[in-house]
Amino acid sequence: MKEKIVSIENVSFTYENKKVLENIYFTIPKGSFVGLIGPNGGGKTTLIKLILGLEKPDTGSIKLFGEPMNRFSAWNKIGYVSQKANTFNKGFPATVFEVVSMGLTAKIGYLKFFTRKHKEKIHQALQQVDMEAYVYENIGNLSGGQQQRIFIARSLVSDPELLILDEPTVGVDHKNVQRFYDLLDQLNLKQGITMLMVTHDTGTITEQATHIACLNKTLYFHGKRAEYKSLTEKDLSQLYGHQVNIVKHDH
C-alpha cells in the first residue's frame, strides 16, 4: 500500500462553540496532488491549520509521515504557501533573494551568515520556479503570479516532501494561471513533491489534481479525480447547498 503522508482519523474541531469540522477521515497518499474544494466557510483553512499543528482537534488523530502529530518534528518536510502571502506592495524593502532566504531561517536561525551552500540553495529554488533572473529585484515590483512563484521558492529551500497551498492562484492574472499550474505539476511529477491545494477554481483543479476532496463541515467526497468527475449536478448541489451547473473543460 502507498505510504500516507497525512492521515486524519475521525477528527472534529470547534471554534468557541461553533463546530466547523465533523468526523473527518482523510488521507494524502505519497506523490498525489490533492485538490481541496468546497464552499466558503466550509472549513478548508481550518483543516490545513490542523495539519500544520496550529490548532488541535477536539477528537480523533492526525498522523504526518506515519508519526502521530505530538511526536512529529520534521517540519522542514512540509512547505506552506498561504493565501495571504500575496500582499507585498510596491516599494516593500526586500529583494527576492531576501524573501527566499527566509525559508532557510528555520534551519539556520535568524541573523546567521549564509554559507555558499545556502546561497546555492536559494538560486536553485529560484531556478525551479523559473525566476532566477529576478534574484536582486525588489519583491514589490513583481506581479501577483511572480510573487507567488517566489513564495513557492521560499518553501522549496527546505526540500519539502509535502507542499500545502491555500488558494495560491488568487492575485495571479488569468493568463498566468495555467503557467502556475504547470509549475505545480512539474514539482509534483518530476520532483515527487506531494501537493495539497485549496482552491475555488474547480474547473482547472479537476483537470490537474490526482485526487479531489470536497469539504463542507464533513468531507462530502474524497477520491480520485475520475470519480469526482462522474458526480452529477445533483450530487454537487448537495455539497454546495445550492444549484451547481457543471462546466466541462474538455481539451
Which parts of this chain interact with ligand ADP (CB under 6 A)? 15, 18, 20, 38, 40-46
Cell, residue 172: 495571479
Q: How far is the CB of 123 from ligand ADP (least distance, A)?
A: 34
Closer to ligand ADP by CB, 131 or 215: give it.
Answer: 215
Q: How far is the CB of 84 from ligand ADP (least distance, A)?
A: 12
How many other CB atoms sit within 10 Å of the CB of residue 75?
14
Torsion angle in degrees (nearest 10) through CA of 118, 124, 125, 129: 160
Q: How far is the CB of 213 from ligand ADP (least distance, A)?
A: 12
Closer to ligand ADP by CB, 46 or 128: give it.
Answer: 46
Q: How far is the CB of 83 from ligand ADP (least distance, A)?
A: 8
Closer to ligand ADP by CB, 41 or 68: give it.
Answer: 41
User: Between the CA of residue 209 and those of 98, 119, 158, 188, 245, what are the distances in Å?
Assistant: 32, 33, 24, 10, 20
Q: How far apart are CA 209 and CA 203, in angstroms?
A: 11
Closer to ligand ADP by CB, 55 or 207: give it.
Answer: 55
Cell, residue 33: 496532488
Q: How far apart are CA 23 and CA 93, in angstroms?
A: 45
